[in-house]
Structure 1
Amino acid sequence: MEFVMPILEGAWRYVLTLRISDYLDIALMAYAIYWLLKLVGTSKVESVGKVILLFLLALMLSDAFSLNGIYFLLSHILSLGALALIVLFQPEIRRLIDQLGSSRWRSFNPFARTQQVSAIENAIAQTVLACTEMSKTRTGVLIVFEREMALDDIARTGTIVDARVSSELLKNIFFVKAAMHDGAVIMRDGRLLAGGCMLPLSKNVNLSRDLGMRHRAGIGMSENSDAVVVIVSEETGTISVAIGGLLKRHLMPETLEKLLINELVPQEPTEQDDKLHMKLLKLLSAGKGDKDDEK
């Protein structure tokens, strides 16, 4: 304990010397590291990372053992490595830029936020009702709920509707003889933005062979955005949801409703969150006060 206390006291004194800009700097670095780890989590990046480590090891060994010819070749190849990585990971880099560039600003107006939550809850209820009925008739359904990443490019591939969501409207759109029944519906902030939209197909080669094009399009949409995609199979009538490239199948209406509420309805801050926020403000104020005293 005598050994630990001086360390904790020193760490606390250091924290008090930090300015608001320091906290911002730490937050930005943490965010960048988060995205880097998220990118490294893919199998493609993992395999390439192993090759890069072996390449660097070979470069170090060739230098250590004076293998001048091999070192000359590897060092020149290394100079082109950055360009090769950009070309190799072009889809991942483009997806990351799209996610950062197309994030939508949310309204801070409490009244508008309440209206938005009410519209989303209505859209969820009407979607569950429509999917339950269309599941019984084995009508194919593909509904995309937009979240932070804007889907304007996807919406432009279909027909702009911009209407209040109702189960009757959804059933009319996905009616087998309707003009837009083969495409997807895009939901934004509790309203039906567009119908008959084309979605990107999944590039995952490990998907089950019994999944049709509708499921592959839904999974592909969830791989390329943060959207929540609801799918009803035309062959079996089963209800599924795709999130983050993963497919949750054979959902009951009650499970579907709970899942959509958890994923789409903004959660109110808890009392514990408020306390943590107040502690952070006090810490920042204390740090700023110490700085002012030093000056």
Structure 2
Amino acid sequence: MDNLNAFLYDNFSVTIPSVHVIDVIEILIIAFFIYEILLWLKNSRAYMLLRGILVIVVFFVIAGLLQMNTILWLGERLLSVGITALIVVFQPELRSALEQLGRRNLFQVLVKGFQKNAEERFSDHTLSDLVKACFDMGSVRTGALIVIEMETGLQEYERTGISIDAILSRQLLINIFEKNTPLHDGAVLVKGDRVVSATCYLPLSDNMEISKDLGTRHRAALGISEVSDALTIVVSEETGQVSVTKGGRLYHDITADELTKFLEDIQNKNIKNDRKKEGGSADEQKA
């Protein structure tokens, strides 16, 4: 090791630092907190706010490179105020993140972080019951709003509703959205094969191009699709038509086969990605 250090120093003016057990523990602790911060950003609206802050930072970096002294002077004066403003803006997310950190087991978090998730997003039975329930409700003009969580966490919307945490079934969905029942108003949040929450409040879309014929359910479905990657199913109470929103787009008045295709596209996403990494999809292997 001494010879290697001497060679590196003589030729590159660098040396290999000595690493002790404390250094390894310190690295693991820092890595854990960085992981928690990134996970918090992913599961909250803080990510979008952070992107806005990064744009401002890049702007001031460019101003520094171009020697725009007036802008730099303003930036220095606003820095202390900006830090206070960030704490105020992020206050709900920061409080939620600290509460979650206090409730979680460190060992379980670390183990879960290294586990590879290659399972289906939900089962074929769940897919079938979703399709049947939506079109059964459509046939009797029962309105429904079902949000299927994907990669983006929807905990902040889940907390606005009533916890259900039950295995998804056709009968359960129909009973939830039955008119004049306590849980029929608002959205149902689905995660995997379970209904996690009902009567959830969703953000309404500000898109002025939405048809005036569409009601609050469709606007809420578009709203959640604009701030997350969730797929949302809407059953119109007025017409009985079934629609889907994803990625800020509305697919209006779809058939049962089309809804099945939408759900199949997100159902096997993780498996398809893993197969591609292993050497191609099943169709490619058959070919």
TM-score normalized by structure 1? Answer: 0.57
Q: Cα gap change, 1:202/1:84 in structure 2, threshold over 3 Å: closer, same or farther?
A: farther
AA matched with 1:163: A
Q: What is the root-mean-square deviation in Å for CA atoms of aligned residues?
A: 5.0
Does the residue aligned with 1:242 lie in a helix, a strand or coil? Answer: strand
Percent of aligned pairs with the same amino acid: 28
Residue 56 (structure 1) aligned with residue 58 (structure 2):
no
Q: Cα gap change, 1:106/1:143 in structure 2, threshold over 3 Å: closer, same or farther?
A: farther
Provide the residue aligned with 1:7 in structure 2.
Answer: none
Q: Cα gap change, 1:82/1:141 in structure 2, threshold over 3 Å: closer, same or farther?
A: same
Q: Deviations over 1:147-170 (max 9, x none)?
A: 234434433433333333222221
Does the residue aligned with 2:222 lie in a helix, a strand or coil? Answer: helix
Quote how far apart the aligned CAs of 1:125 are: 1.0
AA matched with 1:139: T
Provide the residue aligned with 2:137 in structure 1.
Answer: 134
Quote how far apart the aligned CAs of 1:146 are: 1.9
Report if the CA contact (8 A) 1:199-1:220 is conserved.
no
Q: Cα gap change, 1:134/1:83 in structure 2, threshold over 3 Å: closer, same or farther?
A: same
Q: Cα gap change, 1:73/1:187 in structure 2, threshold over 3 Å: closer, same or farther?
A: closer
**Gap runs ≥5 in structure 1:** 1-27, 63-69, 277-295
Provide the residue aligned with 1:248 in structure 2.
Answer: 251
Quote how far apart the aligned CAs of 1:252 are: 1.5
Does the residue aligned with 2:201 lie in a helix, a strand or coil? Answer: coil
CA distance in 2, matches of 1:72, 1:263: 47
Q: Cα gap change, 1:204/1:84 in structure 2, threshold over 3 Å: closer, same or farther?
A: farther
Quote how far apart the aligned CAs of 1:119 are: 4.9
Between 129-138 and 149-158, the greater mean CA deviation after superposition: 149-158
Quote how far apart the aligned CAs of 1:132 are: 1.4
Quote how far apart the aligned CAs of 1:80 are: 6.0
Alignment of 1:1-295 (within 5 A): 52=59, 56=63, 60=67, 74=74, 76-77=76-77, 79=79, 83=83, 86=86, 117=120, 119-195=122-198, 197-210=199-212, 211-265=214-268, 266-269=270-273, 272-275=276-279
Q: Cα gap change, 1:171/1:75 in structure 2, threshold over 3 Å: closer, same or farther?
A: closer
Does the residue aligned with 2:223 lie in a helix, a strand or coil? Answer: helix
Report if the CA contact (8 A) 1:175-1:181 is conserved.
yes
CA distance in 2, matches of 1:150, 1:71: 38
CA distance in 2, matches of 1:71, 1:264: 50
Does the residue aligned with 1:257 lie in a helix, a strand or coil? Answer: helix
CA distance in 2, matches of 1:72, 1:39: 25
AA matched with 2:230: A
Quote how far apart the aligned CAs of 1:83 are: 4.4
TM-score normalized by structure 2? Answer: 0.58
Does the residue aligned with 1:267 lie in a helix, a strand or coil? Answer: helix
**Gap runs ≥5 in structure 2:** 1-33, 102-108, 281-287
Quote how far apart the aligned CAs of 1:230 are: 0.9
CA distance in 1, matches of 2:160, 2:263: 25
